[in-house]
Amino acid sequence: MGKGALRQGPLPKDWLSGTCPFRSRTCRPTGIITLVLSPVNEDDNLIAARLLDFFAAATPWHRALWNAGLVLALRETLEASEAVRSGVLAEEALKGLGSNCLRLAGLDAGAGAEEHRHALQQALMGKVRYDGLDFHSLKQLADQIESRYLERWAVALRSDQQRPKAERAARSVAAHLLDLGFSSDYLHRWWRFKLVHESGSKSLAEIIEEAHALAQRAAEVFEVLVLLKASPRSRSGYPPDWLSAADVSRRLREKGCDVTGLRPSGGLVLSAEARDADSAVQIAAEMAENFLARVSVGTGASVDRIPQAWVSGEREPRKLGLRFRGVRVRALYREDRIYPSKEPPNILDAAIEMLAHLERSSPSAAVAGGWAAIEALLSEPNDRGAAAERLATLVACSFPRAELTVLSYVLEKTDSGLKAILAQCNENRDRASAVARAILNGQTLSVPDPSDQAALSRMEKLLNSPRKSLDDIKTHAADAFARLYRQRNLVLHWGKTNGVALRASLRTAAPLVGAGMDRIAHGWYVQRIRPIELAARARVSLATVMSDDIGCLRLLD
């Protein structure tokens, strides 16, 4: 089977286990995915394609999932009420969370009937004081919504009346599953198997009902073996779950594992409660990082771990390490700024250094470093939180050209009417403009892949009503950045490193931070414009953008 080709015929029984040959998060098919859905509505294929987008590792930032789900937003509100009582968050932050929950609930089929929405509104419009009446009402409502969330979405997608929009449906379902603690790797395999490979034909609603059953299963406790290249001792010796080098070798050989080339000094068996093995390994990686940090500050010793881990019940090792979160500042490469220059260090250099923690550090260090980079460039002394809205404005201004550029390369291969025009374009700006003009002229464009069809639909809407669409994009990005800011405050001012939305804040914000920082770096190196000036340009551009025009591609020029 060639690289990237789709497997034909039945899949192995261990498709979802660690021995599955398609386990890699980077395994994405080339060409067009053929879905085996039995669609009830023409939007079903678009929803399915977007679900695969949201769970895939290589999805670009402008097609990624930016939002957390309704249930997590409610639980974050409950946590914030305690933080307000402790003086960690301001009352204004709690009110903002409540407003966000009300907005989400109004668009979410999983929120329940009108009675449930009214009860939510009553609790959120009150003062959600920690341990008060509204607090406990909200907690009960969150539990009730979670228990039937996907079940309600399945019902909504069976109906042709007041049917939710495809993008909203996909974002709600995907965010809910990720917020529950499933890894994107596991969910991508699970959904791809259901949508592409499973024998027979099912409706999207039926598959969502199966996802509901999956979500109702309790988390499991996984044992993960982590190997170290040195043997750090505490004052009392080794912990009970420590394995010597001989113990490690014996344990792995008994499981039938290949130990060729392994030279550990010892290992730790870590217990991780998780929804799937991929999540368990990620949790184990964070536990190992925390342990090695304690060794470093407690003894001054530096201990390296072997970048592999073994999950109980699996023979093949898994890669052990903190996950890359998708922060990409490509202007550093485009403008040949990867290596340090001879110029004196500047504020952008410092921000990039801090931003590196957002890409691959422990969650607490990631939110602290990531927000510090944003704040250094876009905040003002008396208004630190305003940096979230300013960065969101830059992201919104960057969105049209980014999406149209990707579509241009797709259309160059699939649309004979645009192929010759696009082949003559030397710059991505010109390619995006060519596609935008074709859309505004009502030209029928050929994009066979449902993911590209969904993107084309979004761009048709944006180009015909740019101000409304860009404001909506800005709102979603600002929500993600505000969540990152709140989590940063919980970590730094409350010492809370296990916040309910900590990992969700990194998942949703990291790629968007990269996109915004990319525009800041381009402005700094190419246009010689400071970040705050670029943010002002973006604000004015969004306020004055015209309809039925391709000016939305030049918002930051």
Do 443 and 551 meet the contact criterion of CB atoms below 8 Å apart? no
Distance CA 107, CA 105 (A): 5
Q: Which of 39, 31, 165, 38 is nearest to 108 (CA)?
A: 165
pLDDT (tens digit per residue) in 282-320 = 999 999 999 888 888 988 888 889 999 999 989 999 999
* β-strand partners of 271: 223
Note the pLDDT of residue 32.
58
Note the pLDDT of residue 244.
92
Which portions of the chain are predicted below pLDDT 50? 1-31
Which class for 85: exposed (0-12), middle (13-18), buried (19 or more C-beta within 10 A)? Answer: middle
User: Dihedrals φ, ψ of 235, to 5°?
Assistant: -60, -35
Distance CA 66, CA 77 (A): 18
E strand or H helix that includes residue 408? helix 387-414
Could you tell me the CA-to-CA distances from 446 to 120, 407, 413, 504 in Å, in that order? 44, 11, 10, 35
User: Dihedrals φ, ψ of 267, to 5°?
Assistant: -160, 165
Note the pLDDT of residue 171.
98
Which class for 64: exposed (0-12), middle (13-18), buried (19 or more C-beta within 10 A)? Answer: middle
Distance CA 338, CA 360 (A): 18
Radius of gyration of the chain (CA): 24
Distance CA 78, CA 82 (A): 7
Mean pLDDT, rounded, of the chain: 90
Q: Which residue has the tokens 């068996």?
A: 269
User: Dihedrals φ, ψ of 17, to 5°?
Assistant: -95, 175
Provide CB contacts within 8 A for 107, sequence distance 6+: 164, 168
Could you tell me the CA-to-CA distances from 158 to 109, 153, 411, 451 in Å, in that order? 12, 9, 33, 21
What torsion, rounded to 10 degrees, do the Cα atoms 530, 531, 536, 542 define? 130
Tokens of 516: 């915004």
pTM for this model (two decimals): 0.91
